[in-house]
Amino acid sequence: MAGMNFAPAMGGQFAAIARMRWQLFVNSLRTVRGRLELVARAFMFLGFAILGMGGSVGLGIAAWYFVSQGKAVFLAVLLWPVFLFWQMFPVLATAFSDNVDSSNLLRFPLTFRSYFFVRIIFGSLEPATAIGMLWSTGIAFGVTAAAPSLIVAALPAMLGFAILNILLGRMIYAWVERWLAQRRTRELLGIVFFIFIICFQLIGPLLSRYGERSAPAMTQFTKAALPVQGFLPPGLAAYSITSALHGDFLRSFGGIALQCLYAVMILWLLNIRLRAQYHGENLSESVALAAKPAGKRETKLGWRIPGMSGPVSAIVEKEFHYLSRSGPMLFTFIMPVVILLIFRLGPGKAGGSGGVLAHASDLAFPVGAAYTLLILTNLVYNTFGGDAVGVQFFFISPVRFREVLIGKNLAHAIVMAIEVMLVWLGACFLYRPPSIEITLATICGVSFALLVNLGAGDLLSMYTPKKIDYGTFGRQRASGATQFASIGIQAAVIGLCAAPLMLARAYGRIWIAIVIFLVLAGIAAIGYAMVLNRADAVAFKRRETMIAELSRA
């Protein structure tokens, strides 16, 4: 940590990096994809601005009310959501936070202190930081508006709270990035993350179902947790302001000092991680090849799918090998059944049992199938993302690009079919077996939606590809333009599927929905065939862009 003072050379380095990032943005606007990305980010920025400004005003009013009523201790209720959002949003929404990989700057003669501050400052230029700062500012203004004399404690406490969140976010980012660099820890971290998400979603239904029985235990837990949260960043900020309101400025500044101590500890942990990276830490997953005794080796034959050519069968086999080696991806495939379980455990109408679908259990299968489509969105709309630099072999191999897409689409269709069967079994077990009419209508609707998604996904995968780097935090999603387009397509497809099904169900004529879905599926099949017929020409025209985008470091 020694020697981290700003030097004149550091200011020039920061200016050069800022110019580089600005020039990258300007150059990206020269392409159609770059302009589409700008439009998508403009809509995202508008949403984030509404969330930040609206939250700031709401939190400010709530803080003013608590302080004016002499209940400043309840500021912790406001600060905890801000803290959790600040730390968890970058993990949950990496698609909205695609920062430049600052570790690439180590190729240049950069001092460690310059690299350290670059990682903190430029790495914090993300939506979570901006929204968190707005919310913290709103709380600070609300407190000082209610009691102007608290400005001497509220501003340092909220400033320390914001700095602590920024440093903690950078520290978590750096260590998670280190764990993602190796496959074993990456798989373990992904599984733990998805288990946490599932458990978090089950909290509400379980409390609503067993809330009365667990009330004594929850009371004991709350009594034990209240003193502990007082020593954590949100509790410390609220404690400092509360102590100042009661005139105990010694304890108030003691809480601020403890925040500073936490910041020093976080800086120390961040320093360990960044110094190892600066000194050339290599987390390669490759293993040295061991010499094998010479002799006859058995050659394993590849898959041979009846009715499909050899290249198509090979692509399907490759895709399934990719999926089988990704623990988090396999874990997400059980989420549709988990969603049905959450609906089953949740309260029904008028607080009754049976869950959200208690009075419409025949819709459990269609709802689960629709969620399955959403799960496959990121896979279908960036189908070459996992191939990365390997996409070059598709262009030099004596195989039409049409066959490559057919192989990938067939693999995704098989996954979808397996998922739909699991959802059907889950609906039978958790609710009641769907009727034959509902089952056929759902299958026809899924066929139409899948054809639309595969056709659109093939085009977007060629026009706006993005490398998926599972070892780099924040680079595990499709491009912003693809995400934006996929949301619109999915909304339209689900709307076209839901409207006929609900209308036919209301009139008790499910066969009407089946006929409509078959017609839509026929139209979607024609469109999908047109996309495949143009695949070779589009891929040949876009080959340089695809290889460049998917081969980025």
Residue 112 in contact with residue 272, Cβ under 8 Å? Answer: no
Q: What is the pLDDT of residue 187?
A: 65
Q: Which two tokens stand for residue 292?
A: 């094998």
Structural contact between residues 33 and 481, judged by C-beta atoms closer than 8 angstroms: yes
The pLDDT of residue 105 is: 72
The torsion defined by the Cα of 251, 255, 260 and 265, in degrees rounded to 10, comes to 120
Burial class from Cβ neighbours inside 10 Å (0-12, 13-18, 19+) for residue 49 reads middle
DSSP letter for 231, please.
T
| pLDDT for the residue 399 | 87
Q: How far is CA 292 from the centre of its chain?
A: 43
Rounded to the nearest angstrom, the gap between the alpha carbon of residue 77 and the centroid of all alpha carbons in its chain is 26
How far is the C-alpha of 461 from the C-alpha of 448, rounded, in Å? 20
Question: DSSP per residue over 135-154, as a string?
Answer: HHHHHHHHHHHH-GGGHHHH
In degrees and rounded to multiples of 5, residue 99 shows phi and psi of: -80, 155
Which residues lie below 8 Å from residue 125, measured CB to CB, with a gap of 6+? 99
Q: Residue 316 is encoded by which pair of tokens?
A: 């399907």
User: What is the enclosing helix (H) or strand (E) of 279?
Assistant: none
Angle (CA) 271-277-281 rounded to 5° is: 135
d(CA 516, CA 503): 11
Integer Cα distance of 65 and 83 in angstroms = 20
The b-or-e profile of 494-505 (16+ CB within 10 A means b, else e) is: bebbbebbeebb
Specify the pLDDT at position 341: 77
Give me the pLDDT at residue 526, please: 95
Angle between helices 75-92 and 233-245 (to 10 degrees): 160
Task: Kindly report the three-state secondary structure assignment for every residue of 253-310.
Answer: HHHHHHHHHHHHHHHHHHHHHHHHHHCCCCCCCCCCCCCCCCCCCCCCCCCCCCCCCH
Report the C-alpha gap between 14 and 427 in whole angstroms.
Answer: 57
- Listing DSSP states for 433-493 in one string gives PPPHHHHHHHHHHHHHHHHHHHHHHHHHHHHS-----TTSTT-SS--HHHHHHHHHHHHHH
User: Is there a contact between 336 and 364 (Cβ–Cβ < 8 Å)?
Assistant: no
Tokens 């889950």 correspond to 426
Distance CA 250, CA 263 (A): 20
| Span 190-217, pLDDT tens digits | 677 767 767 766 666 666 655 555 556 5
Question: Cα separation of 320 and 255, whole Å?
Answer: 54
Q: State the helix-helix crossing angle for 436-463 and 364-375, rounded to 10 degrees.
A: 10
* Dihedral Cα 14, 18, 23, 28, nearest 10 deg: 130
* Residue 110: C-alpha distances to residues 1, 22, 73, 268 (Å): 16, 20, 46, 20
Angle 151-180/249-278 helices, nearest 10 degrees?
Answer: 20
Tokens of 230: 């007082």
Distances (CA, A) of 542 to 150, 354, 394, 460, 537: 61, 52, 13, 11, 9
Alpha-carbon distance values, 407 to 71, 194, 312, 325, 455 (Å) = 63, 29, 4, 19, 13
pLDDT in tens, the chain (553 residues): 444 444 446 667 777 777 777 777 777 777 766 777 777 778 778 888 898 899 999 999 999 999 888 888 888 889 999 998 888 777 665 544 455 556 667 777 778 888 888 888 877 777 888 899 999 999 999 999 988 888 888 899 999 999 999 999 888 888 877 776 666 666 676 677 767 767 766 666 666 655 555 556 555 655 566 677 778 888 888 888 888 888 888 888 888 899 999 999 999 998 888 888 888 776 655 554 455 555 555 656 677 888 788 888 888 888 888 877 766 666 677 778 877 777 777 655 544 555 556 566 778 888 888 888 888 877 888 888 878 788 888 888 888 989 999 999 999 999 899 989 988 998 888 888 888 888 999 999 999 999 999 999 999 888 888 877 655 544 456 666 777 788 888 888 888 888 888 888 888 888 888 999 999 999 999 999 999 999 989 888 888 888 888 887 5
Categorise residue 474: left if φ over 0, alpha if ψ from -120 to 50, beta otherwise: left
Taking the domains of the chain in order of start, what are their residue ranges? Answer: 49-211+228-278, 310-550
What is the chain's Cα-based Rg? 27
- Closest C-alpha to 408, from 478, 465, 457, 355: 457
- With a CB cutoff of 8 Å and minimum separation 6, the contacts of 100 are 21, 24, 122
Tokens 């997400």 locate to 332
